[in-house]
Amino acid sequence: MPEEKSSKSANPAPKNIKQIDPTNLGITWTDGHESVYKVRHLRESCPCANCIDEWTGVKRLDPNSIPENIRPTKLHSVGLYAIQFSWSDGHDTGLYSHDLMRKLCQCIECQ
Amino acid sequence: MSDQELQVNIIAELKTVIDPDLHKDIVSLGFVKNMEVKDGNVKFQVELTTPACPVKEQLKTECETKVSAVKGVKSVDVEMTAEVRAAEHSQPILTNVKNIIAVASGKGGVGKSTVSVNLAMALQMSGAKVGLMDADIYGPSIPKMLGIPITPPKGGADNKFFPHEQYGLKVVSAAFLQKEGVPLMLRGPMLGGIIQQFLQNVEWGELDYLVIDLPPGTGDVQLTLTQRAPISGAVVVTTPQEVSLIDAEKGVRMFESVKVPLLGIVENMSYFICDGCDKKHHIFKSGGGNALAEKFKIPFLTDIPLVSAVVEGGDKGVPIIMADPSSPATKAYTKLAGQVASQLSIIHADKDKPASTFELNWEG
């Protein structure tokens, strides 16, 4: 029997997800990494089919159309692989996979 | 030596009994329960994480041999019990179900439903409480394979309904929601609606294992299930041919992308044993399932022979595992159940698990 299973060893997953302050979200990952996200950056990076063209991958969302004071209202897990955000502008169709969330990390180490 | 001192020595000896799947000794794992030592007569229970444990007898013998060898022990009575550990999940559905096993394939016709039925029966026959969900909405075949007549499910309070019961298994299927032989013709959103019903409105009661027989492919039903149900692990069924393996690989990748742990690969119709001899005839090539498992570094659970009695059993409504205990297919399914159960135990023992489901309301 193989010792390691690719499904759990391959990519880190969020271990703890919390609100740091009104504009920052924090995630601690299973590999120990700590990410801090500006919520506006997350809204701008929404991967849903309204914000990113599904066929061409071109961004359709105009960042200037996002209200200045954008905030999440609620977030919850989807299955075992993604996080869904509901935003104060009413948008809620984006499923942010854990892999995407990790890519969006803006710490010095990741960028 | 007092009985108390003796007990200390016995525990020390039991610490050398290692669970081969979890790689830890049975004392540290908390498996040893209710030890009584009286005048050198020793009695205790070993509580495993599944009644389908493939090494149950081996562990029992090892405990008996090692404890008997401890100086001062006159007799040893080991009872093997099991308490299935639950997956941690807080999604408000299927809360009384400890483990959810999805059985999937990339391609249709690989015998997924047959595997699901016999896997569920094998787990049930080991002593576990088992449910079977036929999520193949367009081609539900589980009722036929289990010989359950098509009758509407019994309704309960709050829009809930009860599963059918057969051979000690609890079963839901879209076949019960329609007239026999009449196809269900549905668009995507309706399909998701039925699955949602199966997840939320079925009075399963307490289950150790819920086996979900998925439709072939990587479509709506699979996505709804992986997004809504806290699946503990997935089994991917393939046949040995390359055309099947290509699609099985897609199935594996789908589960990887939605982070559902892969319990392993099953190669169905792996070889044929004729009536006359015991030789294995690999009529559709061989080794493909194993190669796929190695490629993705996931366990190869077992290969299942092509036996005509399996088909007969399915058509008559008596699964092979009940119809013929001596069939090589029955042995393969029993092995499969043991492997699936131990893989689930390994996953539960993994301390480095990611956060289970969560919900966060943003303040300010």
In this predicted model, what pLDDT tens digit does every residue of B101-121 receive, in sequence order? 999 988 888 889 999 999 999
Q: Which position has the higher pLDDT, A13 or A3?
A: A13
Q: What is the mean pLDDT of residues A38-43?
A: 95
Burial of residue B254 (number of CB atoms within 10 Å: 0-12, 13-18, 19+):
buried
Instruction: Give the whole-angstrom CA distance, residue B343 versus residue B21.
Output: 8
Same domain, B227 and B295: yes
The last residue of one of the domains, among B33, B53, B82, is B82
**Cα gap B4→B1, rounded to integer Å:** 8
In a domain, B357, yes or no: no
Chain A contacts in chain B segment 195-214 (CB below 8 A): none
Instruction: Tell whether A55 lies on the interface with B, counting CB pairs under 8 A.
Output: no
Q: What is the pLDDT of residues B153-198, one digit of tens each?
A: 898 888 889 999 999 999 999 888 877 666 666 666 677 778 888 8
In Å, how far is B3's CA from the nearest CA of chain A?
40
State how far the alpha carbon of B56 is from the alpha carbons of A67, B47, B49, B78, B324, in Å.
62, 10, 10, 12, 23
Across the interface, whether the CB atoms of B258 and A81 are under 8 A apart is answered: yes
Residue B129 lies in a domain: yes
- Please enumerate in sequence order all residues whose Cβ is within 8 A of that of B291, keeping only pairs 6 or more positions apart, or say none: B245
d(CA A43, CA B148): 51
Residues B181 and B253 in one domain: yes
Which position has the higher pLDDT, A1 or A103? A103
The range of the structural domain enclosing residue B61 comes to: 3-82
Considering chain A, what is the average pLDDT of its residues?
A: 86
Co-location of B258 and B141 in the same domain = yes
A81 in reach of chain B (CB within 8 A): yes
Q: Which of B107, B42, B102 is nearest to B74 (CA)?
A: B42
Say yes or no: B109 and B234 in one domain.
Answer: yes
Dist CA A99 CA A30 (whole Å): 13
B160 and B41 share a domain? no
Give the domain A13-103 fold.
NE0471 N-terminal domain-like (3.30.2020)
Tell me: do B200 and B230 sit in the same domain.
yes
Q: What is the mean pLDDT of residues B44-70?
A: 92
Whether the per-residue pLDDT at B51 is higher than 70: the answer is yes
Q: Please tell me the distance in Å from B343's CA to the nearest CA on chain A.
A: 10
Number of domains in chain B: 2
Identify the CATH number of the domain in which residue B48 sits: 3.30.300.130
Q: What is the mean pLDDT of residues B288-300?
A: 90
Question: Which residues pair with residue B141 across a beta bridge?
Answer: none
Contact call for residues B166 and B174 (beta carbons, < 8 A): no
Looking at the structure, do residues B108 and B54 belong to the same domain, yes or no? no
Cα B348 to Cα B22, B265, B345: the distances in Å are: 10, 19, 5
pLDDT tens figures, A57-84: 888 999 999 999 999 999 988 878 889 9
Give the per-residue pLDDT at B310. 86
The answer to whether residue B62 sits within a structural domain is yes
Q: Which DSSP helix (H) or strand (E) runs through A99?
A: helix A98-103
Q: Which of residues 212-251 of B touch A (CB under 8 A)?
A: 226-228, 230-231
| Lookup result for tokens 């829009």 | B159
Are B77 and B120 within one domain? Answer: no
**Nearest chain B Cα distance for residue A76, angstroms:** 4
Percentage of chain B with pLDDT > 90? 49
Query: How many Å apart are CA A19 and CA A23, to the nearest integer?
Result: 8
Give the pair of three-digit tokens for residue B331. Answer: 């042995």
Last residue of a domain, one of B82, B105, B123: B82
The enclosing domain of B213 has a CATH number of 3.40.50.300
* Intra-chain end-to-end CA distance of chain A, in Å: 38
CB contact under 8 A, A8 and B361: no
One-letter amino acid at B138 equals: Y
Q: Is residue B363 part of a domain?
A: no
Domain boundary among B33, B57, B82: B82
Considering the domain architecture, whether residues B41 and B118 belong to the same structural domain is answered as no
- Same domain, residue pair B292 and B164: yes
Q: Does B260 touch chain A (CB under 8 A)?
A: yes
CA count, 13 A, side-chain hemisphere, B354: 26
Q: Give kind and range of the element (H or E) at residue B95.
A: none
Tokens of B83: 């308490």
Provide CB contacts within 8 A for A63, sequence distance 6+.
A44
Q: Pick from A74-78, B13-17, B274-278 the range whose average pLDDT is largest.
A: B13-17
Question: Can you give the length of chain B in residues?
Answer: 364
pLDDT-derived band at B354, boundaries 50, 70, 90: low
| pLDDT tens track for B228-267 | 888 999 999 998 888 788 888 988 998 988 888 999 999 9
Interface A:B, Cβ pairs < 8 A: 98
Provide the shortest C-alpha distance from residue A21 to chain B (in Å): 8
Helices (H), chain B: 3-14, 56-68, 112-125, 142-146, 188-200, 220-228, 242-257, 288-295, 308-316, 320-323, 328-349
Mark whether B206 and B74 lie in a shared domain. Answer: no
Element counts in chain B: helices (H) and strands (E):
11, 14
Q: Tens digit of pLDDT for each residue in B81-95?
A: 988 877 655 456 788
DSSP H helix total and E strand total for chain A: 3, 6
Whether B73 and B129 map to the same domain: the answer is no
In this complex, the residue of B258, B355, B361 whose CB is nearest that of residue A79 is B258
**What are the residue ranges spanned by the domains of chain A?**
13-103
Q: Is A100 on the interface with B (CB under 8 A)?
A: no
